[in-house]
C-alpha cells in the first residue's frame, strides 16, 4: 500500500536490480478498499507471531523471533528442509551471481 489509495499487487520487487533484470509482473490499483486490504494483509504477515526478523551477528545471518516473550535466535532458516539448506549454501559458494 502506498498512500491509503494506491496499492501494488504482484511479485515484482521494487529495487533497481529487479527493474533491470527480472520479468516478474505486478499492477498498481487506485482503490482505497484494496489499499486497506493490502495494508491489513501486510500487517498480518509481518506480525512477530508469524514472522522472523533477519539480522547480522558476527557477520552471519540470524533469524530473530519473540513469540514467546523472550527473544529466540536461530542460526539456520526456520522450517527449511535439508534440501533447501543445501541449495542456499550452494548459491552462496558457487559463482552464480551472473546467472541470476
Q: Output the nine-digit C-alpha cell for 32.
A: 482505497
Whether 66 contacts 48, CB under 8 Å: yes
Query: Would you say residue 1 lies in a domain?
Result: no
pLDDT in tens, 18-48: 777 776 778 889 999 999 999 999 899 888 7
State whether the Cα torsion 7-27-21-92 is positive or negative. Answer: positive
- Together in a domain, 35 and 59: no
- Residue 86: which residues within 8 A CB-CB, separation 6 or more? none
- Together in a domain, 57 and 95: yes
- Together in a domain, 39 and 62: no
- Together in a domain, 94 and 68: yes
Predicted pLDDT of residue 21: 73
Amino acid at each position: 500500500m502506498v498512500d491509503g489509495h494506491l496499492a501494488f499487487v504482484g511479485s515484482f520487487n521494487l529495487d533497481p536490480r529487479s527493474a533491470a533484470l527480472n520479468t516478474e509482473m505486478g499492477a498498481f490499483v487506485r482503490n482505497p478498499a484494496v489499499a486497506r486490504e493490502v495494508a491489513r494483509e501486510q500487517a498480518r504477515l509481518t506480525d512477530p507471531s508469524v514472522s522472523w526478523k533477519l539480522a547480522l551477528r558476527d557477520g552471519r545471518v540470524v533469524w530473530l523471533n519473540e513469540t514467546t516473550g523472550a527473544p529466540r535466535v536461530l542460526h539456520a532458516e526456520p522450517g527449511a528442509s535439508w534440501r533447501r539448506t543445501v541449495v542456499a549454501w550452494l548459491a552462496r559458494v558457487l559463482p552464480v551471481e551472473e546467472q541470476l
